């Protein structure tokens, strides 16, 4: 009795966009955006459950602009993204006899991010397409990070076999999650246990290597086979502070992810009005110790020790089938998903699962340019409440949402 813990979440977002075409070859798009939010964690009133009280009040202001231009066979694009961040956080925890002790925290910080990029898409000679780009990022909140990221992609078309061979390299720069990053960094410096003092939450830097083959089987049917290897430093995961319901970011020294996917694409067959996409993916991801930033938890990793992330899933399958009758405006589609199950810490994987969604719609009335459309949707048709993840022994199993049914009327004018 009395276990009435609550969490109140609020968020609002406003976006103002401007799109202008200077000429058939030049286009600019600019957006101003703002996001405010609040997160309040309230404790239970019973005398036994650990007390956790936390709050977070973030503010994000930004401007993003992209300029596109076509010049002598080159599709050029450049842009910038400027973001101003304000983060205020507080936290208090009483374990009611739990030996784990977490210091109380209250603080705020201002920072931001500035990013610019330029890229080009062109064909130096027949059947070869090249994508080149470079991006510069500067991020400053808990820590300051700077990176210049080159990117290159190549695709060659074999006319005789109607095949495409493609390969790409991308370097990425990912700022740490903003949510409770101040708290995680505070614990990283002031944890009671010395082996948990691993410092600030750090930025995640990654290298992506990808290669693939696309083969036309029929004028409207193609098969794709892709493989990838992703490596990185200071990879992210979220970790709960005891049973406080507060998840804070944590860094691992390195990460390695590899896998492949097989995709069958079926563009709309005019005679039947049917299109579809079928995909199977195989992947494996490992994080390697030691822990390098944020909230280290109770089980620090030694150098080179590896773990599997909580939401890692080895086998994934999806299928989408869509039917459209252009004369009556009637359409119907279904999406199906299969998953082999994610891991449990120090235990077996969760059971495999299969779900399907269904959507349909039609045009009720039309008088150009006005039109009235109806849409009906069902997600998780068979109400499969499968287990998504269980990150540790202290955290309850997380379940997928149950069946939902909805409909809408859309008036176009």
The residues of the chain scoring below 50 in pLDDT are none
Q: Which helix (H) or strand (E) holds 106?
A: strand 105-125
**What pLDDT was estimated at residue 393?**
60
pTM of the complete model: 0.84
Instruction: Name residues whose C-beta falls within 8 Å of residue 374's C-beta, 6 or more positions apart in sequence.
Output: 361, 362, 363, 364, 407, 408, 409, 410
Question: Using omega within 30 degrees of 0 as the cis cutoff, is the peptide bond preceding 244 cis?
Answer: no
Round to whole Å and give the CA distance between 61 and 142. Answer: 18
Q: Which 3 state secondary structure label does DSSP give 403?
A: coil
**What pLDDT was estimated at residue 378?**
95
**What pLDDT was estimated at residue 308?**
86
**What pLDDT was estimated at residue 97?**
67
Alpha-carbon distances, residue 326 vs 267, 330, 335 (angstroms): 15, 7, 21
Query: CATH code for 6-309?
Result: 2.40.170.20
Closest C-alpha among 90, 101, 168, 89 to residue 129: 168
Provide the CB-side half-sphere exposure for 28 (13 A, CA). Answer: 8
**What pLDDT was estimated at residue 78?**
98
Range list of H helices, 180-236: 181-190
Looking at residue 244, what DSSP letter applies?
A: S
């Amino acid at each position: 009795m009395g276990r009435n813990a609550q969490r109140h979440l609020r968020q609002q977002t406003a976006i103002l966009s401007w799109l202008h075409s200077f000429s058939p070859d030049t286009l600019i798009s600019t957006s101003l955006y703002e996001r405010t939010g609040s997160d309040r964690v309230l404790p239970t009133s019973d005398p036994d459950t650990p007390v956790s009280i936390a709050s977070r009040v973030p503010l994000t202001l930004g401007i993003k602009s992209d300029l596109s231009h076509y010049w002598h066979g080159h599709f050029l694009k450049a842009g910038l993204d400027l973001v101003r961040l304000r983060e205020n956080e507080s936290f208090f925890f009483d374990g009611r006899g739990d030996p784990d002790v977490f210091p109380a925290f209250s603080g705020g910080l201002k920072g931001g991010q500035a990013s610019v990029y330029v890229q080009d898409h062109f064909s130096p000679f027949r059947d070869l397409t090249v994508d080149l780009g470079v991006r510069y990022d500067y991020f400053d909140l808990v820590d300051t990070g700077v990176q210049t990221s080159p990117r290159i992609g190549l695709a060659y078309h074999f006319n005789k076999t109607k095949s495409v061979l493609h390969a790409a390299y991308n370097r990425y720069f990912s700022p740490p999650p903003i949510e409770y990053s101040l708290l995680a960094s505070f614990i990283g410096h002031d944890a009671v246990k010395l082996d948990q003092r691993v410092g600030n939450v750090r930025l995640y830097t990654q290298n992506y290597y990808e290669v693939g083959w696309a083969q036309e089987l029929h004028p409207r049917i193609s098969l794709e086979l892709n493989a990838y290897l992703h490596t990185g430093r200071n990879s992210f995961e979220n970790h709960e502070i005891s049973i406080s319901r507060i998840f804070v970011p944590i860094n691992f020294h390195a990460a390695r992810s590899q896998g492949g996917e097989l995709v069958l694409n079926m563009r709309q067959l005019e005679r039947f009005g049917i299109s579809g996409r079928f995909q199977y993916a195989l992947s494996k991801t490992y994080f390697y110790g030691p822990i390098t930033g944020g909230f280290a938890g109770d089980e620090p990793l030694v150098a080179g020790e590896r773990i599997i992330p909580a939401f890692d899933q080895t086998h994934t399958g999806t299928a989408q089938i869509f039917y459209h009758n252009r004369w009556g405006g009637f359409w119907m589609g279904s999406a199906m998903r299969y998953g082999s199950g994610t891991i449990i810490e120090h235990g077996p994987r969760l059971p495999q699962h299969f779900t399907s969604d269904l959507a349909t719609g039609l045009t009720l009335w039309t008088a150009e340019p006005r039109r009235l459309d109806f849409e009906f949707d069902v997600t998780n048709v068979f109400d499969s409440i499968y287990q998504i993840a269980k990150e540790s022994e202290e955290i309850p199993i997380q379940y997928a949402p149950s069946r939902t049914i909805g409909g809408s009327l859309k008036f176009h004018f």
